[in-house]
Amino acid sequence: MTFEQLIPAPNSARWVASTPGSLPLDQETVLRALPGTEGVARWLRATVGAATGLRLADAPEGEAGGGGERSVELRVDPGLAAEAYRLTVEEDTVRIEGGSAAGVFWGAQTFRQLLGPDAFRRAPLDPAAAWSVPRVAVEDAPRFRWRGMMLDVSRHFMPKDGVLRYLDLLAAHKLNVFHFHLTDDQGWRVEIKRHPRLTEVGSWRARSKWGHRFSPLWEERPHGGFYTQEDIREIVAYADSLHIAVVPEIEIPGHSQAAISAYPHLGNTDVVDTGSLTVWDTWGVNPNVLAPTEEVLRFYEGVFEEVLDLFPSTFIHVGGDECPKDQWKASATAQARIKELGVEGEDGLQSWFIRHFDQWLTARGRRLIGWDEILEGGLAEGATVSSWRGYRGGIAAARSGHDVIMCPEQHVYLDHRQDGGPDEPMPIGFVRTLEDVYRFEPVPAELTEEEAAHVIGTQANVWTEVMEHQGRVDYQVFPRLAAFSEVAWGTLPAPAERDFADFERRMGTHYARLDALGVDYRRPSGPLPYQQRPGVLGRPIEGPPPNV
């Protein structure tokens, strides 16, 4: 294994000597963790140690590298950028230095790749196997500070163990943000102690649409689940050990039927019999939205107080997308509110809703982030925008001085189908191949350098309407998340100039890593028989996606 198979590709990698060679590792190889790297050392022993059978015992006390034994040395170098790392395999030492513990951790992930695909297993295939690492020098740093994946657990719930597994998969690809989509019309997934019916009622639906919302098929069994506050704390702590920030999303004011079904007074009671609503069992844009009342604001302030206690993330996502205004137009309460506030119509009312929580979160040292519909009616002062409908919302936000996460659905929605063939399971949206994702560029060329600096990162989104279990999520996410990770990490040439052939060559080794990790990815040859869903209606869109 050499640096020529790494994903994401590093900024700089070379052989240490003119003649390629390797450093053998054995049971006498020690691990020297200098101050600030103790967590990375624990991770190395728990993962690489378990896969290889190497003990990686503590190095003897004394000066770094002074014992003469083979060693893996971890060190924080304040001279490097926080997430930058330098990995050097010398005569008897693997030295991993980072600008912070996070940088050291990303270097350790590269070290794991250099050991070969079997280093990604849970236990050694052969306890007597010999291990070695090539004598290389790698210097690397990420392009973006936000390199994320959003996972929707509202449409189909993923149990806690599956979430922890996905954090491992993100870390293996040097992604550092897990956007946790916890609430929607089809299920409320986080325990809120002061409002217990959110999970008692709101976390279960009686049945689920099978396929696209126009499909005639149903899965006639209850679906649901939620994370206790203890589960959330465990997920956040585990993510933190992997240097991943967990950004929770609590949807307001749209996508709220699950919450309204639990607490009918949250809805527009003067136009809808909210007491008859249940957790939604199909997909699409739901007309039942929150009422713009002080009572609703107080309710969600209580929700967010508990959310802030659970999630230390600076960013708190409030959704803000796909909020139909029909009920507000018909509601005397909403119309009176518009007059009272002096805002411009229903869009102004939504902006008022978002601005309230922007100020509320700012007062508590947090930052609001929402989908690009929060631009409608005026953008809240401190808001960051997740630009999903294309580039346009992100461009507008960046030009007005707001930070942006670029995640346009036409490019990095991983629920979109991977191929145009007839065997793709429940085909949704545009064809987005591995190569298409590899050629995605997060920063639009029309932005000035100053405006482009507001694009603080990029994110791939995974909506799970037609992903009924973990295997289906794997199929949609991989291998495309590997291509996305290289886009998010590296400074690549212009899309048309990127060397996809080289990436595809490196994927030959990466597929073996995914196999070792047990990832149920889409094979280059197409879906395996059990991955297909014959006869289940999707929503394929033909032709190339618009670049909007």
pLDDT tens digits, one per residue of 370-417: 999 999 999 999 999 999 999 999 999 999 999 999 999 999 999 999
The long-range contacts involving 507-514, CB below 8 angstroms and separated by at least 24 positions, are 507/7, 507/434, 507/479, 507/482, 508/5, 509/1, 509/5, 509/117, 510/5, 510/7, 510/479, 510/482, 511/479, 512/117, 513/113, 513/117, 513/120, 513/172, 514/478, 514/479, 514/482
DSSP code for 46: I
pLDDT at 19: 85
User: If pLDDT is split at 50, 70 and 90, which confidence band does 62 have?
Assistant: low
Place of tokens 């008897």: 92
- Gap between the Cα atoms of 384 and 366, Å rounded: 11
Segment 79-85 mean pLDDT: 98
DSSP code for 193: T
Centroid of chain to Cα 233: 18
User: If pLDDT is split at 50, 70 and 90, which confidence band does 18 have?
Assistant: confident
Task: Decide if 291 contacts 269 (C-beta within 8 A).
Answer: yes
- Gap between the Cα atoms of 153 and 234, Å rounded: 17
Which letter, b or e, does each residue of 300-330 get, where b requires 16 or more Cβ atoms within 10 Å of its Cβ?
beebbebbbebbebebbbbbbbebebebbee
Catalytic annotation, residues: 184, 255, 322
User: If pLDDT is split at 50, 70 and 90, which confidence band does 4 have?
Assistant: confident
- What percent of the chain lies above the pLDDT cut of 70? 98
Write out the DSSP string of 148-185.
Answer: EEEEE-SSS---HHHHHHHHHHHHHTT--EEEEE-EET
pLDDT at 2: 67
User: If pLDDT is split at 50, 70 and 90, which confidence band does 61 have?
Assistant: confident
Bond from prior residue into 35 cis (ω within 30 degrees of 0): no
pTM confidence score: 0.98
Segment 134-157 mean pLDDT: 98
Segment 186-197 mean pLDDT: 98
Lowest mean pLDDT among 60-69, 148-157, 312-321, 437-446: 60-69
pLDDT at 249: 98
Name the average pLDDT for the chain: 96
H or E element in which residue 523 lies: none
Residue 120 has pLDDT above 70, yes or no: yes
- Gap between the Cα atoms of 70 and 61, Å rounded: 15
Segment 310-333 mean pLDDT: 98
Beta strands per DSSP E along 320-406: 367-371, 384-387, 404-406
Write out the two tokens for 525.
């040859």
pLDDT at 17: 87
pLDDT at 474: 99
- Gap between the Cα atoms of 166 and 484, Å rounded: 15
